[in-house]
Amino acid sequence: MASTSAPAPITPHGRAKLIALGRATKPIREASGMARFMFWTGVGITLFFVALAIFAPLLSRYNFTQYASGGHRFPQLGHPSSAHWMGTTVQSSDVMSRVVYGAQTELEVVAIALAMSLSVGVPLGLISGYFGGILDRALVLLMDALFAFPYLLIAIVIAFVLATSSIGGGILTAAIAITAAYVPLYFRVVRNHVISVREEPYVDAARALGARPRTVIRKYVFFNVVQNVPPIATLNAADAILLLASLGFLGYGIQPSQGAEWGYDVSRAVSDAASGIWWTGLFPGLAIVLLVTGLTLLGEGLNETLNPVLRQRRFGRFEFDEREPREEALLDQ
275 band by pLDDT with thresholds 50, 70 and 90? confident
Q: Is the confidence at residue 212, as pLDDT, over 80?
A: yes
DSSP annotation of 149: S
Q: Is 230 helix (H, G, I), strand (E, B) or coil?
A: helix
CA distance 316 to 88: 55
Residue percentage of the chain with pLDDT more than 70: 81
Task: Locate the domains of the chain by residue range.
Answer: 48-58+95-311
Tell me what pLDDT residue 1 has.
Answer: 45
Q: Is 333 helix (H, G, I), strand (E, B) or coil?
A: coil
Residue 312 amino acid letter: Q
Tell me what pLDDT residue 39 has.
Answer: 87
Residue 268 amino acid letter: R
Note the pTM of the prediction, 2 decimals.
0.82
CB atoms within 10 A of CB 223: 9
CA distance 31 to 40: 10
316 band by pLDDT with thresholds 50, 70 and 90? low
Q: Is the confidence at residue 237, as pLDDT, over 70?
A: yes
Tell me which CATH homologous superfamily contains domain 48-58+95-311: MetI-like (1.10.3720.10)
CA distance 155 to 162: 10
Per the CB < 8 A criterion, the answer to whether 135 and 180 are in contact is: no
CA distance 12 to 6: 18
User: Mind listing the pLDDT tens digit for each residue in 296-312?
Assistant: 999 888 888 776 555 55
82 band by pLDDT with thresholds 50, 70 and 90? confident
